[in-house]
Chain A
Amino acid sequence: DIVMTQSPDSLSVSLGERATINCRSSHIVTSCPNNKNCLAWYQQKPGQPPKLLIYWASYRASGVPERFSGSGSGTDFTLTISNLQAGDVAVYYCQQYSNPPEFTFGQGTKVDIK
């Protein structure tokens, strides 16, 4: 089984500062079409479904602010939130897509304001 491990489990960041969340896969993340990494990031606020932020490891979903950026390849990936805003308080999840088809999520990282 593929295991996605996020670090840290929780993170307190001052307004305007940067938050960095790491995600490590137990297996090399599958290569999607066009040689992209099949790795996505989501933001989930209480009482809401997850919202897609990043797909193919570094592509922002429609409407997502440029403050959110993704990077990485192979087994190690990072989500960076620059200039943290109060509205960014949420739990963040990484997710990889593998063959045979299966989506695997990280355990989540809780971000709040210091």
Chain B
Amino acid sequence: QVQLHQSGPGLLKPSQSLSLTCDISGDSVYASKVAWNWIRRSPSRGLEWLGRTYYESAWHTDYAVSVRSRTFINADTVKNQFSLQLSSVTPEDTAVYYCARGFNSALDYWGQGILVTVSS
């Protein structure tokens, strides 16, 4: 059974960087035909996909256009986890952040979610 467990701070000040980690159990960050995604949910924007990383002969990343310039997603192959970094946060980045596994063009396993609040 695949399980994803998220960790990271829940409170940030404007202009700081958000950093979240998703630990994978029951699967490998190298798994074939699978991608590792970050999504957030906020009252104003609903569910919003942020980006993903996956391994297919080499590591690949894709980002949503809306956050591409300040987002970085990477995998830690030793710890079997992947991470999200979002720089220069504003109150608009306040949301519940989720990690999720992508398979068959859907998101089949999700982390528990972390509420991140950006406030001065």
Contacts and interface: CB of A to CB of B under 8 A. Distances in A.
B72 to A, nearest CB: 16
Interface in A85-114: 93, 95, 97, 100-108
Given A102-B49, A102-B64, A105-B49, A97 B110 contact: no
A61 B62 contact: no
B81 to A, nearest CB: 17
Contact of A105 (B48, B62, B110, B113): B48
Contacts of B105: 30, 32, 38, 40, 55-56, 97
Interface string A15-41: 000000000000000101000001010
Interface residues of B, number: 22
A51 B86 CA distance: 25
A56 B113 CA distance: 25
A30 B104 CA distance: 13
Contact of A93 (B47, B65, B110, B111): B47
Contacts of B46: 93, 105-108
Contacts of A61: 106, 108
Interface in A40-60: 40, 42, 48-52, 55-56, 59
Interface residues of A, number: 27
Interface string B45-85: 01111001000000000101100000000000000000000
Q: Sorted from nearest, which 10 A-B pairs have the closest CB atoms?
A: A49-B110, A103-B49, A55-B106, A40-B106, A105-B47, A97-B105, A101-B62, A38-B105, A52-B108, A32-B105
